[in-house]
Structure 1
Amino acid sequence: MKTLLLAGTALVAATVAHAQGQLNLYNWGNYTSPEMIEAFTAETGITVTITDYDSNTTALAKVEAGGSGFDLVVPTANYVPIFVEKGLLQELDHSRLSNIGNIDPRWMDVDWDPGRAYTIPWQWGTTGVAVNTTAYSGDVNTSDIFLRPPEELVGLVNVVPEMSDVIAMTIFNVGGEACTEDLTVLREVRDLLMSAKPSWISMDYGTTDKLSSNDLMATVNWNGSTMRARINNPDVVYGYPVEGYPLWMDSVGLLADAQNVDEAYLFLDFIMRPENAAMISNFARYANGITGSEAFMDEVMQTAPEIVVPEEFAAAGQFLPTCPQSATDLYTAIWTELVK
């Protein structure tokens, strides 16, 4: 009996070390390293199914509707408190995360998730503008690129349909502050966006490929996406709007109704190992929040102008707070009119 008991204990230990199961990850599109997923499956035996979304609002609505079947989700900083307030994330058991100490102290006690009670870092970056210099050789460090497009870019500008970023950049452009409810400012924001829209060619995602192939000459865009496009097309440059631009961090949270909790914890711990966090960054071209990952990153990441913010533009970047519902309602009204 003792021999059987010991054998059973060994079997349990082996199962923990090399779990067999499923994991369902709900993440931004074109944002998950296939190499990292392959490494995770090779190490654990867990099959990962990835479902893409295109905006924070899409992800929130899908999860809030219930019955999604997802285990992990990757919201942006200003959306994490909303997920938590709505009871959509479960508090993390740090005792099950042996690599929690690898989180850079800068990203551990963050405003949107103090002490990392609910999430761990995925990647972080900036939202600015990307421009093809064959179409426009002027100043790119301004949100006027999409709000008051120069003549050379009229009809060639895309705007990614991410409400928080676009509304915030427009508020900054007219001299307002994040989460403002000043109706004078917001009327100016609304009028500026509506007057700019006829100069745009689209409001769409897929900017990496379209910038690479010269299908877009300018767009509101994220820094890593722009870097990927620039590697394919050296004419693409990234601009940091001097009027103000968003900083952001996407973080991974365990959903309250997750079915594959053990597998989720193994995944969370896996991506906090520096070499694995680096695979995520090397694919999507954003920085991450894991100490020591830089040693495993591609050399081009170390000096890329899209990753290393020029000193003269650093002060213009800011993390967007989670706005009160009253402010969000005002922004949604503007956005609804804009996307009609």
Structure 2
Amino acid sequence: MLLKTSVIALTLTAQSALAEGELNIFTWGNYTSPELIEKFESTYDVKVTLTEYDSNDAALAKVKAGGHGFDIVVPTHSFVPVFISEGLLLETRPDQMENFSNVDPRWVDVDWDPGRHYTVPYQWGTTGVLVHTGTYDGDINTSAVFLDPPEELKGQINVVPEMQDVMNLAIFYYGGEMCTDDLTLLKKVRDGMLEAKKDWIGIDYPAFEKFINEDILGSVFWNGASMRIRADNPNFAYGYPKEGYPVWQDTIAVLKDARNPENAKLFQNFVMDPENAALISNFGRYANGTIGSEPFMDPDLIGAPELVIPEGLEDAGYFTELCAPETQELYTRIWTEIQK
């Protein structure tokens, strides 16, 4: 009995020591539930520090440069294969973690991380357009909002600095398919965006207050962020471009050079708990990948127009993917020209 008690004591001590310390998370701006972080910190006696970025490209570049000190990164699904192929992620085997049984079956064995050896689902959603319908009362389910702006919105349109989303929206609008390398079509995309840019106020990830205060009246934006803005200014509505719109999932991954890998693994398991997944959705206003989270989610999320795709537009959504390197280079050159 004494030996058994000693073993239990040693085990508890080891777990406690494992959980103490720090966790440094590199993630999207204004995306992480403070309540989730506070709960994790109090549960495991771990101090969490958040550092924010505004695009997948920026996150990848920072991580590749090294010397960052981050433990966790939150890449969109299409960037996960790049992080893996570059040797930037630790194989943490989320599929063997206690809470993995809560993951929705549709997210268990995914193309970007077969069998889920590296990543866990975080939030998923769509990229469309956010429009102030008190100013513009026309069709908002179209990328013409930013590519052929109506007179009412000119000079007050923003485009987020996320190349994959914006390029895909533009390619769909001009009649192309994801990862097209059709130079004639890509020239049309480039010329169209350069012309439309004259009516944009910026290429930025602006503070939500700029929308709420109506300094910006239209934008390429994400559905959950759009819902948060509508909560403070009901004149805004989210549109699903009928020409085509990206669908994505953000993931929680542990970096290969993490200084606190065990705490990072604890966080991966933590977010797959239904109550914790609900905290994520309640703040971000996106869907999560965890079964059983709905009873803990805010009632206004259920049936929200930003989360329920309008009838007839369901098939216009496409899961994003990174293209062949040579095609990706074409997109980067176009995007670099647009940002000048």
State if a TM-score over 0.5 links the two structures: yes
Residues 55-106 of structure 1: CA distance to partner in whole angstroms, max 9, x if unpaired?
0001000001112111110000110111011010121234761101111001
CA distance in 2: counterparts of 1:292 and 1:211, whole angstroms: 33
Q: How far off is 1:209 after superposition?
A: 2.4
CA distance in 1: counterparts of 2:277 and 2:74, whole angstroms: 15
What is aligned with 1:24? Answer: 24
Residues 201-241 of structure 1: CA distance to partner in whole angstroms, max 9, x if unpaired?
11111253221111111000000110000000000000000
CA distance in 2: counterparts of 1:95 and 1:116, whole angstroms: 6
What is aligned with 1:309? Answer: 309
CA distance in 1: counterparts of 2:268 and 2:112, whole angstroms: 19
What is aligned with 1:234? Answer: 234
Specify the code of the residue in structure 1 equivalent to 2:91: E
What is aligned with 2:65? Answer: 65
Q: How far off is 1:3 after superposition?
A: 5.3
CA distance in 2: counterparts of 1:311 and 1:292, whole angstroms: 26
Return 207-216 or 65-74, whichever deviates more: 207-216
Q: How far off is 1:178 after superposition?
A: 0.6
The gaps in structure 2 that reach 5 residues or longer are: none
What is aligned with 2:12? Answer: 13
After superposition, residues 23-102 of structure 1 pair within 5 angstroms as 23-94=23-94, 97-102=97-102
Residues paired across the two proteins, number: 339
Asked whether the 8 Å contact 1:25–1:72 carries over to 2, the reply is yes
CA distance in 2: counterparts of 1:17 and 1:313, whole angstroms: 50
Secondary structure of the equivalent of 1:177? coil
Asked whether the 8 Å contact 2:94–2:268 carries over to 1, the reply is no
- Identity across the alignment (%): 54
Specify the code of the residue in structure 2 equivalent to 1:180: T
Q: How far off is 1:12 after superposition?
A: 3.3
Asked whether the 8 Å contact 2:125–2:222 carries over to 1, the reply is yes
Asked whether the 8 Å contact 1:23–1:264 carries over to 2, the reply is yes
Asked whether the 8 Å contact 2:95–2:115 carries over to 1, the reply is no
CA distance in 2: counterparts of 1:191 and 1:93, whole angstroms: 45
What is aligned with 2:261? Answer: 261
Asked whether the 8 Å contact 1:207–1:221 carries over to 2, the reply is no
What is aligned with 2:298? Answer: 298
CA distance in 2: counterparts of 1:124 and 1:207, whole angstroms: 21
What is aligned with 1:206? Answer: 206
1:134/1:23 CA distance change after superposition, 3 Å: same
CA distance in 1: counterparts of 2:144 and 2:162, whole angstroms: 18
Asked whether the 8 Å contact 1:127–1:247 carries over to 2, the reply is yes
CA distance in 1: counterparts of 2:125 and 2:267, whole angstroms: 22
Asked whether the 8 Å contact 2:95–2:117 carries over to 1, the reply is no
After superposition, residues 62-211 of structure 1 pair within 5 angstroms as 62-94=62-94, 97-206=97-206, 208-211=208-211
Secondary structure of the equivalent of 2:250? strand
1:333/1:94 CA distance change after superposition, 3 Å: closer
CA distance in 1: counterparts of 2:272 and 2:219, whole angstroms: 32
1:8/1:95 CA distance change after superposition, 3 Å: farther
Asked whether the 8 Å contact 2:72–2:255 carries over to 1, the reply is yes
Secondary structure of the equivalent of 2:89? coil
Q: How far off is 1:113 after superposition?
A: 1.2
**TM-score, length basis structure 2:** 0.96
Asked whether the 8 Å contact 1:208–1:226 carries over to 2, the reply is no
**TM-score, length basis structure 1:** 0.96
Specify the code of the residue in structure 2 equivalent to 1:174: Y
Specify the code of the residue in structure 2 equivalent to 1:321: E
Q: How far off is 1:319 after superposition?
A: 0.6
Specify the code of the residue in structure 2 equivalent to 1:29: G
CA distance in 2: counterparts of 1:290 and 1:17, whole angstroms: 27
Secondary structure of the equivalent of 1:140? coil
Asked whether the 8 Å contact 1:123–1:250 carries over to 2, the reply is yes
Asked whether the 8 Å contact 1:159–1:219 carries over to 2, the reply is yes
Secondary structure of the equivalent of 1:315? helix
CA distance in 1: counterparts of 2:7 and 2:313, whole angstroms: 60
Specify the code of the residue in structure 2 equivalent to 1:191: D
Secondary structure of the equivalent of 2:242? coil
1:229/1:269 CA distance change after superposition, 3 Å: same
Asked whether the 8 Å contact 1:146–1:220 carries over to 2, the reply is yes
CA distance in 2: counterparts of 1:95 and 1:84, whole angstroms: 16
CA distance in 2: counterparts of 1:182 and 1:193, whole angstroms: 17
Residues 245-282 of structure 1: CA distance to partner in whole angstroms, max 9, x if unpaired?
00000001111111111111111111110000100110
Q: How far off is 1:17 after superposition?
A: 5.3
CA distance in 1: counterparts of 2:139 and 2:4, whole angstroms: 72
